[in-house]
A and B are shown apart, each in its own frame.
Chain A
Amino acid sequence: MLFTWFLLAGFIFLLAPQSLTNKFQFAFTRVFRWPLSIGRNISLSARIQQPLTDVVSRREFDKLQNHLANVTEELLEKHKQIERISGLRDRLHALEGAKLRLADVITASIDGSRCELIINRGEDDELAEGQFVLGDNSIVGTVSDVSPRTAKVKLITDLTSKIAVKIRELKTIIQGSGQNSVKVQLLSIKHKVEVGDEVYARKKPGFLDAPVKVGTVARCKRDDENPLLWDITVKPACDVEKLKDVAVIIMNPQE
């Protein structure tokens, strides 16, 4: 008899609407939610801990992800540098034996008396005083001072800058005028020079193995003070103010 009643109760439960019988299940969950949640947390953590031998913590993961992002970005930057350097070499075959050290411009000081750049390469990168600096495939200046991690580049427009150049096979010297131009010194009027002539930095053993363009003659007239000499103004081939990076020519790399 008891069995029949229980069986009947079972069938009533079975045939009762599920929305009604679910209330018993929800009531059980509500009453025992604390021990149930503990049990489930333990079960969950036990399952999660199993594959932990092959993974790292979230913090370590984030750290590695950041490192990966940094390295990837650095790699892309290096790729760009390689492309720039190889492009530079294609254009300047004469620099084949030289090492071109790319450097970013940290600051550019261009005012009346001083025209110089601070770049993010230094003695540690084999930079030394006197080395020529290229910007947009033309000579923009020379390294004037080096520290372990940075260097100062004296631009060709600086008042104290003097570079040996040639114009139409004429050897002469250019000196910065302090503004965005360069003056050619002591060139007799017997030599033929015209506006538009290109000016090349001359070879300098240990520093430059081939002539590299510096600029073009922008103005050419007789010197007011000495009519036997030309007063030539050279416009630099590169707009220094827009430079973001330069390449330092290292003629005798240690490697």
Chain B
Amino acid sequence: MHWFRFAVFVLIVTVLQAGLADIVAVTNLNIKPDLLLILLVFFAVYCNTFEAIITSFVIGFAADIILFGFPMGSRMISFGLFGTALAYLNRVVTIKKMPYQSVAIFITALLAGTLAHLLDSFRGQTTASNVFAVIFGTSLYSSLVGPFLFLPSAWWMRIKVGRLS
């Protein structure tokens, strides 16, 4: 694992998520792909469990830091928890094919988003009434574009993807 590359990559993706993701937002719910979550799944799939735990929590921290007005920690916990769970799952079920990766992104985004929302609610953070629609939309959008972002991510991180389809 190239940790310096990882740090730069996470920084770039965090800035992109905070500043540019709105360009590709759809519907009036402002649904956009969660680039950080896609990254989380990527590292959970292509790294070992130890690395996946670190990357999951760090990416969760990055996701927290760009959500102004929300209490920090909720995404760090949810991303860390489900990233780690995915890394362990990857030991049993290999998630190398694009459709599987897409499903993995969708389920992880759905679960992580829901847990983060519950933790936010626990901290007394008021959220919009259609928050679950947004979580579902974000999960779907991320699962559709996510697998296509795995290749450039692998190229940057010098990770051999080696998938067939």
A residues within 8 Å of B by Cβ?
2-3, 6-7, 9-16, 18, 21-22, 24-25, 28-29, 32, 35-40, 42-43, 46-47
Q: Which DSSP category, helix, strand, loop or mixed, fits chain A's interface?
A: helix
Residue in A closest to B64 when the chains form the complex, CB atoms: A13
What would 25 A/B residue contacts be, using CB atoms closer than 8 Å?
Answer: A6-B53, A10-B60, A12-B73, A13-B64, A14-B71, A14-B74, A14-B76, A14-B77, A14-B123, A16-B72, A18-B123, A21-B73, A22-B68, A24-B65, A25-B67, A25-B72, A28-B66, A32-B15, A36-B18, A37-B19, A39-B15, A40-B22, A42-B23, A43-B20, A43-B23
Instruction: Write out the residue numbers on chain A whose beta carbons fall within 8 Å of the beta carbon of B60.
Output: 10
B50 within 8 A of A: yes
Q: Which of A3, A9, A18, A43 contacts B53 (CB 8 A)?
A: A3
Q: In the complex, what's the smallest C-beta–C-beta distance from B27 to chain A, in angstroms?
A: 13
Contacts of A6 in B (CB 8 A): 53-54, 57, 76, 80
B15 touches A35 (CB 8 A): yes
- Please give me the residue from chain B that is nearest to A47 by CB atom: B22
Q: B134: CB under 8 A from chain A?
A: no
B94 to chain A, nearest CB (A): 22
Return the 8 tightest CB-CB contacts between A and B, nearest first: A39-B19, A14-B73, A13-B73, A43-B22, A10-B77, A21-B72, A6-B57, A10-B76
Task: Point out the residues of chain B lying under 8 angstroms from A43, CB to CB.
Answer: 19-20, 22-23
Give the residue name and chain of the A residue nearest to B60 (CB): A10
**In angstroms, how far is the closest chain B Cβ from the Cβ of A44?**
8
Q: Tell me, yes or no, whether B151 is within 8 Å of chain A by CB.
A: no
A7-B73 in contact (CB<8A)? no
Known: A6-B57, A10-B60. 14 other contacts (CB 8 A): A7-B57, A7-B81, A10-B57, A12-B73, A13-B72, A13-B76, A14-B71, A14-B122, A16-B73, A24-B65, A28-B14, A36-B18, A40-B19, A42-B20
B84 within 8 A of A: yes
Expressed in whole angstroms, the Cα–Cα distance for A7 and B60 within the complex equals 11
Docked complex: B94-153 residues within 8 A CB-CB of A: 119, 122-123
